[in-house]
Amino acid sequence: MPSIGGSINQSVEHENKFGSKKRKFILDFEFTGDHLSSYEWIMHMADSSNTIFDISDRSGIDFYTVYESASMFYDKDLLKVIR
């Protein structure tokens, strides 16, 4: 019978072993808690009708912090620019 769920004593999946480079960022800025907060706002408001300015204004998070966070999403193909 196969193991279902859990992680104790289970081998690491192939994707986790060899795909970790996809989850790393090379940053040229200091990553802060505001970046994490802006992730939530971006995921909530990035619906093609809101801009980074809108997200910054509504969240109260500095524009450049939201921009840096959105850039990280963009670099990993999680967000795209709509003109």
For residue 32, what pLDDT is reported?
84
pLDDT band at 1 (very low <50, low <70, confident <90, very high): very low
- Note the Cα 49 to chain centre separation in Å: 19
| pLDDT tens per residue across span 51-78 | 999 999 999 999 999 999 999 889 888 8
48, 31 contact by CB (below 8 A): no
The secondary structure element, H or E, covering residue 38 is helix 33-45
What pTM was estimated for this model as a whole? Answer: 0.67
pLDDT band at 13 (very low <50, low <70, confident <90, very high): low
pLDDT more than 70, % of the chain: 70
Residue 7 carries which DSSP code? -
Nearest to 72 by CA among 15, 16, 10, 29: 29
Average pLDDT, the chain: 80
Map out the domains of the chain as residue ranges.
25-75
65, 32 contact by CB (below 8 A): yes
